[in-house]
Amino acid sequence: MTDEYEYTGEGAITMDDYDYDDYPSAPEFPAYLQDAPGGVRTYGTLSYNRRSRCWTIKGDPCVTELAKRLFPGCDGRGRGVARFTAHRRIIGDLNWLMLRYPLEIKATDRARWESALADAREYAVRRERALSMPETATPPAETFAGELLPFQKQGLGFLLSTRRCLLADEMGLGKTVQALAFLATTAAYPAVLVVPPHLIRNWQREVERFLSPDGRLRVHVIRGLTPYALPEADVYIVHYLLLRGWKDVLPGLGFRTVIFDEMQELRRNGTGKYSAASLLSEACENCIGLSGTPIYNHGGEIWNVVNIIDFHFLGDWESFSREWCYGYNSAIVAKPELLGDYLRSEGLMLRRLKRDVLAELAPKRRLVQEIDWDDALYRELMKPVAGQLRLLRSTDDPSRRALIEDAICQQQRQATGIAKAPFVCAFVRALLEGGEQVLLMAHHHAVMDIYKKELRAFRPKFITGRETDRQKDEAAQAFMEGKTDLLCVSLRSASGLNLQRATCVVFGELDWSPAVHSQAEDRAHRIGQRDSLLCYYLVSPRGSDRDMQDALGLKVSQFVAIMGDRPQTPEDQFLQQSQARDRIRQLVERLAEESGE
């Protein structure tokens, strides 16, 4: 049984709009959150320290000593003092203690305590409801241009009920679209999206596609380490490497929501980036982390990530390492599965794997994603084209013109592949770190050489046409036997291979023929496969990709239903060759116009 929230009013939906009295099955808050008895003997005082954001008990040693023994996150050096972090979960622990040992609350802190206790009760009710009756939500059609799958609606319900949480779905299940659906439903603007550098363009496109197809939302991409007066906007996008420069500025700009994409970027503290992210999160009412790899072997990493989302949710570092790891200050979690279960049961994390929602997924999904590229390098590589364009202008011989056009096209395709190669590698690196098995497709040897250098830490194997038959077989076997999770394959060298161990196919370069891509995908998508194969087409904003996308019928940020999926007839092949020739001619004409040749 599920409850589904639907947008019915003109304004934005917030969880405050929902009255739990409307749900007869909603649980009462737990007994440990009842009001502490009054008019009885007290065992000390309770006061709030604004600087350290904690509640402090000063009282009888029997109380403070018990608190330190029972609650690992409880701090307090010396006799008669115990400190509890002002976290809604820990407030419950403190209230439970006060049921047995009542404390006198400082008069100036009484209102703050009542507010904190009410928040802890609401949190406990929501958590219990989410565990017993997972909520689902549908974003309003007026502000969201898309459709969510059933499990994504459940993800939206989780985000709406939690507001500070980690969405840890496996890669390819649509964390981005669920986060954008949250913004569409709450209208919690202005919002700031903190993303890896290579995904800035993709987030910009996704915001425009799902939240602002008519251009009504204002989007600004923050540039440079030096702060400047930001223009008014609804959504701001900044990448992690710039956070340190904006550390003292962003928290004061009144953002209501922060979304951290690939939040494992914040798994190490002590850096300017981490400190800036912590301050930004603290200043926002909503904080959503997105990561397909949330639980690490090193406990310190997940503790750091969670601490950004909800300060001291896992207690301080000393108590976390003592209780969850192999000993005081140890960084290795003793039981990662138990920690994951705890984060889920406490309502901080939601994680679904592909196998959990396989019935809702298509057997093969294609996603076209725009990534960044090195524009200066592209221009440098394209300088020789000017001379070729002059040769083209000076000849009328159709055969010679065709040869020159082919040479220009080949030069631009290689320049495009090289200019975006480092960003392709960054994308593939994230896939591999998330546990995916990747086939990386490309065309040019120069591009493959960049992949080999940038991704050498993952021990990639190659099938590029430069290997002998024996080397080709050994590379395929190494991938299938799990000796490597990355196999780089030339687009036109993949025929006859059986590589169904792959969970993702990434096209770092494109071909003119749809059938070439479909055949490359089918190396991984074989009969009998029971997984949903995700095929990423990584495209650049300029260069040859734009023309080749048009030729293939690929639209950025859209799943492609059919593209060369049926057997190719001789007529199809002839038509594609003719169309490719027309596209090459158009590409060259556009280059000539842009260069003035």
3-state secondary structure 109-178: HHHHHHHHHHHHHHHHHHHHHHHHCCCEEECCCCCCCCCCCHHHHHHHHHHHHHCEEEECCCCCCCHHHH
Instruction: Give the least confident one: 120-124, 339-343, 588-592.
Output: 588-592
Q: What does the block give as tokens for 174? A: 């649509």
**Backbone phi, then psi, for 499, in 5-degree steps?**
-125, 45
Nearest-angstrom CA–CA distance, 202 and 470? 40
The better pLDDT of the pair 411, 595 is held by 411
Spatial neighbors of 401 by CB under 8 A, at least 6 apart, are 392, 395
Instruction: Give the least confident one: 11-20, 46-55, 252-261.
Output: 11-20
Instruction: Give the least confident one: 290-294, 314-318, 327-331, 577-581.
Output: 577-581
Furthest CA-CA distance within the chain: 104
What tens digit of pLDDT does each residue of 105-121 get? 999 999 999 999 998 88
486-490 and 533-539 as β-strands: parallel, antiparallel, unpaired?
unpaired
In this prediction, residue 215 carries a pLDDT of 82
- Supply the DSSP symbol for 496: T
Q: What is the mean pLDDT of residues 548-562?
A: 58
In this prediction, residue 418 carries a pLDDT of 95
- The neighbouring-strand residues paired with 398 are none
Max avg pLDDT among 84-93, 204-213, 324-333: 204-213
Q: pLDDT band for 1, please (50, 70, 90 cuts).
A: very low
Q: What is the mean pLDDT of residues 293-307?
A: 79
Max avg pLDDT among 36-45, 428-437, 441-450, 571-580: 441-450
The better pLDDT of the pair 229, 25 is held by 229
Q: What does the block give as tokens for 27? A: 């649980």
In this prediction, residue 9 carries a pLDDT of 37
Q: What does the block give as tokens for 101? A: 């040992």
Instruction: Yes or no: say if 204 and 237 are a contact pair by the CB < 8 Å rule.
Output: yes
Instruction: Give the least confident one: 129-138, 152-161, 205-214, 216-225.
Output: 129-138
Nearest-angstrom CA–CA distance, 592 and 597? 5
Residue 25 has pLDDT above 60, yes or no: no
What is the enclosing helix (H) or strand (E) of 96? helix 88-100
How many H helices and E strands in the chain?
18, 19
CB atoms within 10 A of CB 104: 12
Q: What is the mean pLDDT of residues 238-260?
A: 96
Spatial neighbors of 333 by CB under 8 A, at least 6 apart, are 295, 296, 297, 298, 299, 302, 324, 325, 339
Q: pLDDT band for 299, please (50, 70, 90 cuts).
A: confident
Q: pLDDT band for 241, please (50, 70, 90 cuts).
A: very high
Q: What does the block give as tokens for 29? A: 């808050």
In the three-class reduction of DSSP (H, G, I as helix; E, B as strand; rest coil), residue 329 is classed as coil
Residue 579 has pLDDT above 80, yes or no: no
Residue 560 has pLDDT above 50, yes or no: no
In this prediction, residue 580 carries a pLDDT of 54
In this prediction, residue 495 carries a pLDDT of 63
Nearest-angstrom CA–CA distance, 511 and 492? 9
- The neighbouring-strand residues paired with 105 are 46
Residue 203 has pLDDT above 50, yes or no: yes
The better pLDDT of the pair 504, 547 is held by 504
Q: ∠ CA(493), CA(437), CA(526), 5° rounding?
A: 60
Q: What is the mean pLDDT of residues 165-173?
A: 88
Nearest-angstrom CA–CA distance, 71 and 167? 27
Q: pLDDT band for 562, please (50, 70, 90 cuts).
A: very low
Chain mean pLDDT for the chain: 83
Nearest-angstrom CA–CA distance, 57 and 75? 10
Residue 557 has pLDDT above 60, yes or no: no
Q: What does the block give as tokens for 152? A: 């994504």
- The neighbouring-strand residues paired with 235 are 191, 219
* Tokens 């390819």 found at: 172
Q: What is the mean pLDDT of residues 543-554?
A: 78
Nearest-angstrom CA–CA distance, 123 and 29? 9
Residue 76 has pLDDT above 50, yes or no: yes
What tens digit of pLDDT does each residue of 88-145 get? 778 888 999 999 999 999 999 999 999 999 988 888 887 777 666 667 899 999 999 9
Q: Please name which of 504, 483, 373 lies closest in space to residue 441, comparing C-alpha atoms.
A: 504
Instruction: Yes or no: say if 507 and 520 are a contact pair by the CB < 8 Å rule.
Output: yes
In this prediction, residue 588 carries a pLDDT of 64
CB atoms within 10 A of CB 559: 13
Instruction: Yes or no: say if 284 and 256 are a contact pair by the CB < 8 Å rule.
Output: yes
**Backbone phi, then psi, for 222, in 5-degree steps?**
-75, 130
In the three-class reduction of DSSP (H, G, I as helix; E, B as strand; rest coil), residue 263 is classed as helix
Q: ∠ CA(180), CA(185), CA(187), 5° rounding?
A: 85
* Tokens 């596209």 found at: 583
What tens digit of pLDDT does each residue of 483-535 get? 999 999 998 776 667 788 888 999 999 988 777 887 788 777 654 456 678 88
Instruction: Give the least confident one: 298-307, 416-425, 500-509.
Output: 298-307
Question: DSSP H helical segments within 542-569, as ranges?
Answer: 545-552
Write the CA distances from 590 to 415, 449, 542, integer angstroms: 16, 29, 12
The better pLDDT of the pair 133, 61 is held by 61
In this prediction, residue 561 carries a pLDDT of 40
